[in-house]
Amino acid sequence: MKRKTILVTGGAGYIGSHTCLELLEAGYDVVVIDNLSNSKLEALTRVQHITQKTLVFHQGDIRDKHFLFEVFSRHKIDAVIHFAGLKAVGESCEKPLAYYHNNIYGTLVLTETMAEYAIKTLVFSSSATVYGDPESVPITENFPLSATNPYGRTKLFIEEILRDLAQADQNNPVSSPWKISILRYFNPIGAHESGLIGEDPNGIPNNLMPYIAQVAVGKLPQLSIFGNDYPTSDGTGVRDYIHVVDLAKGHLQALLALFAKQPEQGGCQAYNLGTGSGISVLAMVQAFEQATGQKIAYQFAPRRAGDIAACYADPSLAAQELNWRSEKNLDAMMLDTWRWQSGNPEGYR
């Protein structure tokens, strides 16, 4: 049987590069599109070095229709995994139009092009942020959706667009239907166990794990823990941290499930990708110290605007329908983060 070819938008980024690695290991042909606005080509060079396999890279923007046409004409693509997007919450509040243009318009151009080439199998990167401030935890996929910032709104709007797209086909018996998986990631952390690829944020990190790692390596003096008066076990925020390699594997399982559908069986389904366990900020600091032997200096600071007390997944739908579960524990997340950070203190630079 001919090997399937997967187009990965944003494939040079943090989650994209780990997913490209898993795709190559699983025997897929991989074509990456990335404008390198938040990533380095070196990540993909290293993916090829680790796997001893090659992928095809096209530098360009998903909003550029001519560019997309060229890529879609050149390769026989079976499915698309769509990671490309801007993801910084704070920046999205300062530059909402840049976020709407990049994320929403980009997805429109991509899906229009897919439709023109009759490629209608899609896995989309959404986020637990679409649950807003959930009424309770764990969160299941049928919880109410809302957004508290422009970044979150782009994910919510794109989800709605994809649901409309799948719905429209159900009323149109002539064309083959869209098969879409929306993956709602909880908090991806960690790095590939080789220590060669990992998260490489620009400037001072916004997210907890890269911040802790940069304190450990001496790039930042201390961690500020945003809030110690939340209604949680120790007062600090609780999240569902998931190893990026587990997350990457979730994309392969989502693809398999879409490929296994009958040709006429379309639809759009969202899945939570998380571990199902909530961990507090203080517990994260302790787990990092224990796993790596590195001391993390910290101070308590006021709550960060827009933060919620607790957010963790009920991941049972992905277990049932995608045959996917997270496998790596907190210790592995910490050790792999440290291997990457200590071996690459300046990231890919």
Residue ranges binding ligand UD1 (CB under 6 A): 87, 89, 127, 129, 152, 187, 206-208, 211, 223-226, 237, 239, 281, 304, 306-307
Phi-psi region of 113 (alpha: psi -120 to 50; beta: other; left: phi over 0): alpha
Tell me the β-bridge partners of 188: 242
Q: How many residues bind ligand NAD (CB under 6 A)?
A: 27
Residue of the chain from 6, 7, 8, 10 that contacts ligand NAD (CB under 6 A): 10
Which of 206/342 has CB closer to ligand NAD? Answer: 206
Q: Which does 5 bind (CB under 5 to 8 A by kind): ligand UD1, ligand NAD, none?
A: none
Q: How far is the CB of 173 from ligand NAD (least distance, A)?
A: 33
CB of 309 to ligand UD1, least distance (A): 8
Instruction: Give 83-115 as a 3 state SS string.
Output: CCCCCCHHHHHHCHHHHHHHHHHHHHHHHHHHH
Q: Which of residues 180-239 bind ligand NAD (CB under 6 A)?
A: 185, 188
Q: For the segment 229-288, give every residue that binds ligand NAD (CB under 6 A).
A: none
37 binds ligand NAD (CB under 6 A): yes
Q: What is the pattern of x (binds ligand NAD, CB under 6 A) and - over residues 82-111?
A: -xxxxx--------------x---x-----
72 touches which of ligand NAD, ligand UD1, none (CB within 5 to 8 A by kind)?
A: none
Residue of 14, 99, 151, 241 marked catalytic: 151
Q: What is the rounded distance in angstroms from the CA atom of residue 209 to the CA atom of residue 190?
A: 8
307 binds, among ligand UD1, ligand NAD, none (CB under 5 to 8 A by kind): ligand UD1
Minimum CB–partner distance for residue 208 and ligand UD1 (Å): 4
Nearest to 110 by CA among 29, 165, 43, 188: 165
Give 130's strand partners: none
Q: Which of 16, 190, 237, 266 binds ligand NAD (CB under 6 A)?
A: 16
Q: How far is the CB of 129 from ligand NAD (least distance, A)?
A: 7
Residue 289 or 307: the one with the smaller Cβ distance to ligand UD1 is: 307
Can you tell me the distance from the alpha carbon of 258 to that of 121, in angstroms, rounded to the nearest whole number? 7
14 tagged catalytic: no
CA dist list (Å): 145 to 133, 157, 267, 270: 9, 11, 19, 12
Pairwise CA distance, residues 338 & 348, whole Å: 15
Shortest Cβ distance from residue 332 to ligand NAD (Å)? 18
In angstroms, what is the minimal distance from the CB of 86 to ligand NAD? 6
Q: Which is nearer to ligand NAD, 169 or 247 (CB)?
A: 247
How far is it, in rounded angstroms, from Cα 228 to Cα 166? 43
Q: One-letter amino acid identity for 272?
A: N
* Percent composition of the chain: helix, strand, coil (DSSP 3-state, to 5): 40, 20, 40
Q: How far apart are CA 245 and CA 70, in angstroms?
A: 31
Q: CA neighbours within 13 Å on the CB side: how many for 209? A: 26
Containing 331, the helix (H) or strand (E) segment is helix 330-343
Q: List, as one string, the DSSP characters of 207-234.
A: SHHHHHHHHHTTSSS-EEEE-S-SSSSS
In the bound complex, which residue of the shown chain has the CB atom lying closest to ligand NAD? Answer: 13
**Out of 8, 15, 258, 268, which residue is the one contacting ligand NAD (CB under 6 A)?**
15
Q: What is the DSSP string of 137-153?
A: SSBPTTS--B-SSHHHH
- If the CB atoms of residues 156 and 257 are measured against ligand UD1, the closer one turns out to be 156
Q: Which is nearer to ligand UD1, 175 or 224 (CB)?
A: 224
What length is written for the chain? 349
Q: Considering only residues 113, 127, 277, 337, which one is a binding residue for ligand NAD as defined by CB under 6 A?
A: 127
- List, by residue number, the catalytic residues: 151
Chain residues binding ligand NAD by CB under 6 A are 10, 12-16, 33-39, 61-63, 83-87, 102, 106, 125, 127, 185, 188
